[in-house]
């Protein structure tokens, strides 16, 4: 089954795990049409600072794209 956002985040034990959770929760929210929610997840992802990952770059790209709409 699917975990709630809160359940997924409580399973994260490190900042890196939370970073990836924030990104993929944002991606899922965006796919589901919950744009404002996705933006908040992507902001949390970028704020985490794991800037050597593809997900960091993608989160920034999504935020830039959403800001221009």
Per-residue pLDDT of the chain (69 residues; tens, 9 = 90+): 678 888 989 999 999 999 999 999 999 999 999 999 999 999 999 999 889 999 999 999 999 999 998
The CB density around residue 51, as the number of other CB atoms within 10 Å, is 10
Quote the CA–CA distance of 47 and 41 in Å, as a whole number: 10
Q: Has this prediction a pTM greater than 0.95? A: no
pLDDT of residue 5: 87
Placement of tokens 């929760």 in the chain? 25
pLDDT of residue 49: 86
Quick check: 58 and 19 in contact, CB under 8 A?
no
């Amino acid at each position: 089954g699917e975990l709630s956002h809160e359940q997924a985040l409580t399973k994260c034990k490190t900042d890196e795990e939370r970073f990836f959770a924030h990104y993929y929760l944002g991606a899922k929210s965006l796919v589901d049409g919950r744009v404002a929610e996705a933006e908040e997840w992507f902001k949390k992802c970028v704020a985490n600072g794991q800037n050597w990952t593809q997900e960091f770059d993608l989160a920034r790209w999504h935020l830039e794209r959403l800001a221009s709409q």
